[in-house]
Amino acid sequence: MIAGGRAASPVASLLRVTRNRPKPVAGERCEMCAEPIGESHAHVVNLDSRALMCSCRACYLLFTDQGANLHYRAVPERYLHFAGLTLDDRTWDELQIPVGLAFLFRNSVQGRTIAFYPGPAGATESELPLDAWDTIVSANPELGVLRADVEALLVRRSDGAGGSCHLVPIDACYELVGRLRTLWRGFDGGREAHDAMDAFFGQVADRSRPATRDEAM
């Protein structure tokens, strides 16, 4: 560049570019439109990759129609408790989940129910057949309210009892798995991991309402 018949110095050019450079964006942004969002925000699921995308409210509302043929789907915010549903030892063994905690959800792309359970490496996908799940749903029709891809049945086994079963948003499950990954010790997780589970299930119980067979889809 020529300024007054003389070439501008590299230092002057660098200073000018630096002054004109936009300031770095602080805080989180919507991954769909780049609008600023708060620390507490909604999520949208990419159905093909299963990835969770942070979303502003406007973008979130674009994908709330569960019946729409879209590549993205908004994660609902409801929590339900299935008080009458218990998984006895035989049923739990048929699910072939090696630890006492798992979440199951319907993957619409693969057309099957998938089970994940926590461990030291994060969420592990069950590669075992889940034929027993169909039996559970047949015996408990209220589970038909589970929305594919965006909601999961969170189940926890308890010694001498059926444990607990909650319908939760899928992002809550990943939040739990991420938390447990930092705490997990040994095969069963250790005391800190179990304390974190107790705290998480306490929060879920506080937010849950009883599920009904005619729950709106």
The answer to whether residue 215 is domain-embedded is no
The answer to whether residue 217 is domain-embedded is no
Residues 51 and 25 reside in one and the same domain: yes
CA gap 65, 80 in Å, rounded? 20
Number of domains in the chain: 2
The answer to whether residue 6 is domain-embedded is no
Residues 21 and 101 reside in one and the same domain: no
Q: What is the full per-residue pLDDT of the chain (217 aa) written as tens digits? A: 444 455 555 555 545 554 555 554 567 899 999 999 988 899 999 999 989 999 999 999 999 987 777 899 999 999 999 877 767 777 777 777 777 888 889 888 888 888 888 877 777 887 656 677 777 788 788 888 899 999 999 988 876 555 788 999 999 998 888 888 888 888 778 899 889 988 999 999 999 998 876 664 4
The answer to whether residue 4 is domain-embedded is no
CA gap 151, 86 in Å, rounded? 19
Strands 209-210 and 80-81: parallel
Residues 67 and 145 reside in one and the same domain: no
* Of 75, 94, 121, the domain-final residue: 75
Residues 135 and 196 reside in one and the same domain: yes
Residue with token string 């034929």: 131
Among 103, 104, 115, 108, residue whose Cα is nearest residue 148: 108
CA gap 21, 138 in Å, rounded? 61
Residues 204 and 128 reside in one and the same domain: yes
First-last CA distance in the chain: 64
Q: Is 184 exposed, middle or buried (0-12, 13-18, 19+ CB in 10 A)?
A: buried
The answer to whether residue 5 is domain-embedded is no
CA gap 30, 113 in Å, rounded? 29
Residue type, 55: S
CB count, 10 Å around CB of 190?
A: 12
Full domain range(s) for residue 30 = 11-75
Q: Which residues make beta-bridge pairs with 116?
A: 103, 125
Cα distances from 16 to residues 6, 13, 19, 22, 25, in angstroms, run 17, 5, 5, 12, 20
DSSP helix/strand/coil, 92:
helix
